Amino acid sequence: MPTVPVYNPPGVTAGGVWGAWTMTAVTYTGSTGTTVLQATSSVWDTWYTSSTTTYTAMTESTQRADADERAAWLERCRQRDEARAAAYDRSEALFRMVLSPDELAHYVATGEVIVTGSQGNRYRIELGILGNVHLLDDDGQVTAELCCHPGGVPDRDSHAAQVLALRNDEEMFTARANVELRGRLRRQVAA
């Protein structure tokens, strides 16, 4: 067994901290005299013995069961990914349906949509869902960033909801949105 350097606190000899922890022969000299700790079974021996694990080779049937379980899991993942891809395709088609021809052309060219709200304000909706709606001034500069979207739906469904809400009830959309004006976050909550 290799020797390990041992830290000995003041007064601890013949085994140091390791010896004290494992309760092998340790001598401690303190203000009241000398104490010798002896144990025939150490904490280390008990821990080391109880932590030893024996592994046995997997039987052929266990290997087959594991392989079948993995194949089933991979199939579930494939089906989930296909369902997500189909949902994305449907949401993209729906999103394109709610856009005017000019909005669609701008979206295809830039990946963003410029929408005029029901109160006449212009907004730019960008890819993503968090803080992706920007209020624009007359020069096309961003004056506010808005975050208002339904949860648990594909991004394009969220974008379609944002377009429709701004066109039909801009006041409701802005009342419910988290709005960032000039670097300060202000949460607006509808009553």
Say whether pLDDT at 105 is over 70. yes
Q: How far is residue 169 from each of residues 12, 104, 190, measured CA to CA in Å?
A: 79, 21, 13
Structural domain includes residue 5: no
pTM of the model: 0.57
pLDDT score for 104: 94
Assess whether 115 and 163 both reside in one domain. yes
Residue 160 domain-assigned? yes
State whether the Cα torsion 88-94-97-103 is positive or negative: negative
pLDDT of 86 reads: 92
Alpha-carbon span 79 to 75, nearest angstrom: 6
What pLDDT is stored for residue 50 in this prediction? 54
Q: CA 86, 88, 94, 96 torsion: positive or negative?
A: negative
Cβ(84)–Cβ(147) below 8 Å = no
Instruction: Please give the Cα distance from 144 to 34 (Å, whole number).
Output: 77
Q: Which amino acid is at 185?
A: L
Per residue in 131-166, pLDDT (tens digit) is 889 999 888 888 899 988 887 788 888 899 999 999
Shared domain check, 75 and 32: no
Q: Are residues 77 and 42 located together in one domain of the fold? A: no
From residue 188, alpha-carbon distances to 54, 171, 180, 191 in Å are 61, 12, 10, 9
pLDDT digits (tens, 9 = 90+) for 55-72: 677 788 888 999 999 999
Residue-number span of the structural domain to which 116 is assigned? 56-191
- Same domain as 23, residue 96: no
Our count of domains for the chain comes to 2
Give residue for tokens 């449907």: 90
Does a structural domain hold residue 45? yes
Q: Which amino acid is at 150?
A: P
pLDDT tens-digit series, residues 173-187: 999 988 888 544 444
DSSP one-letter code for 151:
S
Residue 7 counted as domain residue:
no
More confident residue, 21 or 127: 127
